Amino acid sequence: SPLSAHPVTSPEEDERFMAEALKVGQSGLGRTWPNPSVGAVVVQHLDGRPHIVGAAATAPTGRPHAEPIALAQAGEAARGSTLYVTLEPCSHHGRTPPCAGAVIAAGVRRVVAAIEDPDHRVKGRGVARLRAAGIWVTVGVGAEQALADHAGHIRRVTEGRPHVLLKMAVSADGKAALAGPRPAVVTGPEARARAHLMRAHADAILVGLGTVTADDPMLTCRLEGHEDRSPVRLVLDSGLDIPLESALVRTACDVPVWVIAAEDAPAERAAALMEKGVEVLRAPRGGVEDRLYLPAVLKLLGLLGITRLMVEGGPATAAAFLEAGLVDEVAVFHSPVLLGPDAYHALAGRPLGRLFAPVGFAEVERAELGADRLVRLWRR
Ligand code: AOF
Ligand code: ZN
């Protein structure tokens, strides 16, 4: 009977294998843009017990998608299996043939998907196609984590802009630790490792010109084992004043640097930067004090395929994103170190608590990392 051929799985088993799929999917964060990093796990019952016979994330640059890779690993064992996938399998002919078709062709018996894909080309059609082929489909297992992991993809396909994570390191006296070696690295090695993992999981990392001139940061991921995971490095520089001898410009051929300038910034400067391998993008002004208009900047990044943006400073840039209501997630590393009166205030003079509270940020994580504490908040 169908029941003996396909043992009924328990809710606990579904949770366990979806957790596995989510973990696999998370490993690809930051390297699959413009696509989401999906995790897929193929489970086959052998001797009445479930075994993972295939597991994959979306490939770097976004294709192949996760499902065909995991199904190919499983080979013949995919027949009659259960597929756990963190996003609804696609139904459209895009850069790759639709995954729903591959799932059907492989003879998968049941599909457990964490969430529906809000991409207008999919939006329930993947699930409908699987069901029409007689596959049992469950949607919603692990949905909360999947919504967080796919926040970049969801924000981009529904609003045209990336998910924005604001990262700050704050000293005990409320001062900002800049991204590079000066004026002082306030957080310890555990906090720095976590911050570098955040960089690895970002598609792009953004700073204002002030941080470049004050700090000359590299903005690369220097976490052991993740050195190849550096995000695109972005600088908000309305007048194209970034020094040609800055660390960013000097390394533009190794890790991409995109400088976002106003439409009226001098063309000769743009040419000089492009000669060094820097990509020069143009955005309209219209922000506070006629600075770059941040909603337009984010729209531009969305068009270019960026789904996960990490904003790393400095104080004025952090304040501008918060005041524009464009921050979705905040990671504050609190250090016990005192930086003293000469250091920059973390939010250019604005109190931390007053900026977060009214917009309705909810704490999602609090962790002790060596002598430092990480507090992560998510916009409700
Ligand atoms: C899946 N599995 O692993 C991913 C999916 O341009 P394409 O053809 O690569 O399609 C991109 C869209 O496919 C993307 O916007 C999202 O809706 C979906 N991503 N789907 O079934 C995957 N990465
Ligand atoms: Zn697909």
> What whole-number distance in Å separates Cα of residue 70 and Cα of residue 24?
11
pLDDT (average), residues 294-308 = 98
Give the closest residue (by CA) to ligand 1 atom 22: 65
Give the closest residue (by CA) to ligand 1 atom 17: 119
Choice between 340 and 206, residue whose per-residue pLDDT is larger: 206
Residue 184 pLDDT > 60: no
CA-based end-to-end distance of the chain: 47
Closest CA to 258 of 245, 271, 274: 274
Task: Say if residue 314 is preceded by a cis peptide, omega within 30 of 0.
Answer: yes
Q: Is the dihedral of CA 299, 301, 306, 312 positive or negative?
A: negative
**The pTM is what?**
0.93
Closest CA to 40 of 84, 6, 7, 99: 84
pLDDT (average), residues 143-154 = 98
Q: Which two three-digit tokens encode residue 111?
A: 């599909």
Catalytic, out of 15, 20, 67, 368: 67
In angstroms and rounded to an integer, the radius of gyration of the C-alpha atoms of the chain is 23
Residue 82: beta bridge partners? Answer: 43, 110
What does the pLDDT read at residue 341? 72
Question: Which band of pLDDT confidence, cut at 50, 70 and 90, is reported for residue 185?
Answer: low
H runs (alpha helix) in 160-246: 189-200, 209-215
pLDDT (average), residues 168-181 = 72
What does the pLDDT read at residue 1? 37
What does the pLDDT read at residue 171? 84
Of 185-189, 300-304, 362-366, which gets the smallest average pLDDT? 185-189
DSSP state of 211: H
Does residue 39 line the site of ligand 1, with CB under 6 A? no
Question: Which band of pLDDT confidence, cut at 50, 70 and 90, is reported for residue 3?
Answer: very low
DSSP state of 4: H
> What whole-number distance in Å separates Cα of residue 335 and Cα of residue 372?
5
Residue-wise pLDDT for 44-82, tens only, equals 998 889 999 999 999 999 999 999 999 999 999 999 999
What does the pLDDT read at residue 124? 95
What does the pLDDT read at residue 361? 87
pLDDT (average), residues 134-158 = 98
Q: Is the dihedral of CA 256, 258, 259, 264 positive or negative?
A: positive
What does the pLDDT read at residue 219? 87
Query: Residue 115 CA: which ligand is closest?
Result: 1
224 in catalytic set: no
> What whole-number distance in Å separates Cα of residue 349 and Cα of residue 344?
9
Q: What is the residue-wise DSSP string for 291-358?
A: -B-HHHHHHHHHHTT--EEEE---HHHHHHHHHTT--SEEEEEE-S----TTSPBTTTT--HHHHHHH
Does residue 66 line the site of ligand 1, with CB under 6 A? yes
> What whole-number distance in Å separates Cα of residue 237 and Cα of residue 196?
24
Question: Which band of pLDDT confidence, cut at 50, 70 and 90, is reported for residue 302?
Answer: very high
What does the pLDDT read at residue 2? 43
Give the closest residue (by CA) to ligand 1 atom 20: 90
Using the mean position of ligand 1's atoms as its centre, give its distance from the Cα of residue 148 in Å: 17
Predicted ipTM of the assembly: 0.91
Does residue 329 line the site of ligand 1, with CB under 6 A? no
Parallel, antiparallel, or unpaired: how do β-strands 39-46 and 82-85 relate?
antiparallel
pLDDT (average), residues 318-329 = 91
**How far is residue 324 from each of residues 281, 288, 298, 328, measured CA to CA in Å?**
21, 9, 12, 11
Residue 5 pLDDT > 50: no
> What whole-number distance in Å separates Cα of residue 321 and Cα of residue 311?
9
Share of the chain above pLDDT 90, in %: 71
Q: Count CA atoms within 13 Å of residue 126 on its CB side.
A: 29
pLDDT (average), residues 150-161 = 98
Does residue 14 line the site of ligand 1, with CB under 6 A? no
Q: Count CA atoms within 13 Å of residue 91 on its CB side.
A: 19
Choice between 145 and 96, residue whose per-residue pLDDT is larger: 145
pLDDT (average), residues 99-108 = 97
Does residue 152 line the site of ligand 1, with CB under 6 A? no
What does the pLDDT read at residue 4? 41
Residue 350 pLDDT > 70: no
What does the pLDDT read at residue 351? 63
> What whole-number distance in Å separates Cα of residue 230 and Cα of residue 247?
15
